[in-house]
Amino acid sequence: MRSPRFSIVIPSYNRHKYVGFAIDSALSQTFTDFEVVVLDDGSTDGAIEVIKSFGSRIKLICQENRGAEAARSRGVSAACGEYVVLLDDDDMLFPTALATYDRLIRDLQEPPVILGAVVRFYDRAALPPSDSDDTIEYLQFADYLSRDVPVSLTCSQLVVKRSVALGTGAFRPERTAFPFDIPDMMLRLGTSGPFIILRRPSTVAYRQHSSNTVKAVDYLIESSSCLGRLERRGAYPGGAARRFDRYACIGTMALFWVSKAVRRRCYRTALNLLLDSAPMILAGLIKRSWRCFCSPAPLSRL
């Protein structure tokens, strides 16, 4: 049988309040050539009953709790689609998300990595309206490491060609970089190109609530040196030729968490992170300064 164009992969753990909305948004796409793979990572709050209520419309995989990275990896391995569309269990896809991604893939000769356009909404607030016209606006770069604009990364924005995802080892069955698993994933995909950043229409609605991982600021600060350690171990592609670009990506994030630590008066943690990441932070500052003298990538339209 022919593989579907897309596999929407939803790793889930203890989100009984939200996972039904995520699955329903996946099943409500205007583009119909897709499958939905839900990986329940040992939920104990009744979420599995919500997931099972969708019956044969989804492919359900259950495992003991092993964490987000392992759940995502197993879901991608079980997927059959040409492209994998990640969706967190507390986020939602707009109905035209897959149709938008398909237009980009067809018109841009199958780019291996696309970053969707996200809007944020607060829990219990109404879902923001989607764009009313068919215009697609995007930025194109040689690869992720070549981009000249900052990006705010969420798991649900990532669309990646499945063969590329498996070939680069972007999805790992073990805990490696959590809670910085998404930046880690992007660095592992860093030299795969072209890399597309979608600006509009919006494709992902990111739900902000009290248990978002980004709310655990102290935990994030303490963990923020993991990307630098992985870089020093040679985890990321590009070799010496792309070291500066990798350093700039990691250093920009490290500087952000140093400033967070200072604002929270965690001075020893801030100093340790600063010393540990100093060459990368310097690269990030140099690249940021260089952008002031360069013309930004042009916005393209379909």
Are 47 and 19 within 8 A, CB to CB?
A: yes
The predicted pLDDT at position 1 comes to 67
Distances, alpha carbon 44 to alpha carbons 8, 17, 23, 62, 66, in Å: 23, 13, 18, 12, 13
Interatomic CA distance for residues 83 and 78, integer angstroms: 13
C-alpha–C-alpha distance, residues 158 and 55, integer Å: 26
Give the phi and the psi of residue 193 in degrees, each rounded to 5.
-145, 170
Pick the CATH number of 6-199 from 3.90.550.10, 3.30.70.360, 2.40.160.40, 3.40.50.300: 3.90.550.10
Task: Single out the residue of 186, 180, 265 nearest to residue 219, CA to CA.
Answer: 180
CA distances from 168 to 177, 188, 192, 255, 263 (A): 16, 6, 9, 27, 37
Q: Kindly report, residue by residue over 60-102, the tens digit of the pLDDT.
A: 999 999 999 999 999 999 999 999 999 999 999 999 999 999 9
Q: 40 has which bridge partners?
A: 12, 62
| Segment 15-40 mean pLDDT | 96
pLDDT at residue 109 greater than cutoff 80:
yes
In the chain, alpha helices (H): 19-27, 47-52, 68-78, 97-107, 162-168, 181-188, 217-223, 226-232, 243-263, 267-276, 278-291
Rounded to whole angstroms, the Cα distance separating 257 from 132 reads 37
Q: Is the pLDDT of residue 166 over 90?
A: yes
User: pLDDT tens digit string along 209-234?
Assistant: 877 777 678 888 888 899 999 999 99
3-state secondary structure 231-266: HHCCCCCCCHHHHHHHHHHHHHHHHHHHHHHHHCCC
Q: What is the pTM assigned to this prediction?
A: 0.94
Cβ 228 vs Cβ 250: under 8 Å: yes
Model confidence pLDDT, tens digit, residues 168-205: 999 988 888 988 999 999 999 999 999 999 999 999 99
